[in-house]
Structure 1
Amino acid sequence: MEELLELKRLLLKGDIAGSLAIVEELEEMSRDDKINKITSYAIILLLHLIKQAVENRTTRSWDVSIRNCIRQIERTNKRRKSGGYYLRRDELWEVLLSAYPDAIDAASLEVEEGRYEPRELEDLADRDTILNRAIALIWEDR
């Protein structure tokens, strides 16, 4: 809110350069918010894909959670008015890659009732296969 008041003040003053700097800051804040939301859903998505891979099974609950995460990532990433996406495929890959350690930690509590430590689980799960599966699910309809 502070930024909007400052933007208004600068516009009324006729300070276009200062106004543009505030607009750029607001755009960056919005993009960061989108990335944070996508990361949160990516952790849950990866958690379930890790569980599926390591336990070699799935449940309806996991499948529903996976579909929900994919839809939420797609909604968050889609630019409403201008079309296109906030994150390109390679940027989304980076988000998934950064979310993977958190997903491993969370999965270590759930896979086979918490049987594995995160490092053990990392050895059991094929990171690249899981990340490729996640990106394929997210970009499937594009």
Structure 2
Amino acid sequence: MEELIQLRESIEKHDFVTALQIVDELDEMSVEAKFNKIFSYMVVLLLHLIKEEAEKRLTKSWKLSINNSVKQINRTNRRRKFGGYYAKKADLIEIIDDAFELALEGAAIEAFGGAYDQPELLNLIDVNGIKNKAISLLDY
């Protein structure tokens, strides 16, 4: 909120350089918030893809969670007014890489009733295959 007050003051003073710097900062904050939301849904998406791969099955609940995560990621990522996407393919790949460890941690707790720890679960899955599947489900 402080940024908006500073922006108004800068415009009123005709200090457009400062005003544009504040606009850039606000834009960066907005994009960062979108990336954080995408990250959160990506963890859920990956968690269920890991469980599907490890257990060689897909429950209705997991399928619903996968579909919801994909929809929310795509919805958050889409630029409504200007078209295109906030996160390009390279950004989404980076988010997937960042989210994978947290998703693996969750999957280790849930898959097979928690019978495998993270390293053991990692041996049961194709990490690159899961990451590729995740990226193939997304718009970018």
- Normalising TM by the smaller chain, what interval? over 0.9
Distance in 2 (alpha carbons) for counterparts of 1:93 and 1:18: 34
The match for 1:79 is 79
SS at match of 2:138: helix
Matched, 1:28 2:21: no
Distance in 1 (alpha carbons) for counterparts of 2:113 and 2:136: 28
**1:3-33 Cα distance to aligned partner (Å, 9 max, x none):** 0011001110110110011001001100100
How high is the sequence identity, in percent, across the aligned residues? 46
**5+ residue gaps, structure 2:** none
Q: Residue type matched to 1:26 in 2?
A: L
**1:59-116 Cα distance to aligned partner (Å, 9 max, x none):** 0000011000000000000001000000111111111111000000010100100111
The match for 1:40 is 40
The match for 2:127 is 127
The match for 1:58 is 58
Q: CA deviation at 1:137?
A: 1.0
Matched, 1:136 2:136: yes
The match for 1:8 is 8
Distance in 1 (alpha carbons) for counterparts of 2:124 and 2:113: 15
SS at match of 1:45: helix
After TM superposition, where is structure 1 displaced by more than 3 Å over at least 4 residues in a row?
none
**5+ residue gaps, structure 1:** none
The match for 1:111 is 111
- When the two structures are superposed, what TM-score results if normalisation uses the length of structure 2? 0.97
Q: Residue type matched to 1:74 in 2?
A: N
Distance in 2 (alpha carbons) for counterparts of 1:118 and 1:31: 32
Q: Residue type matched to 1:64 in 2?
A: L
Q: Residue type matched to 1:25 in 2?
A: E
Q: CA deviation at 1:123?
A: 2.0
Aligned residues: 140
Distance in 2 (alpha carbons) for counterparts of 1:4 and 1:116: 50
- When the two structures are superposed, what TM-score results if normalisation uses the length of structure 1? 0.96
Distance in 2 (alpha carbons) for counterparts of 1:138 and 1:66: 11
Q: CA deviation at 1:2?
A: 0.7
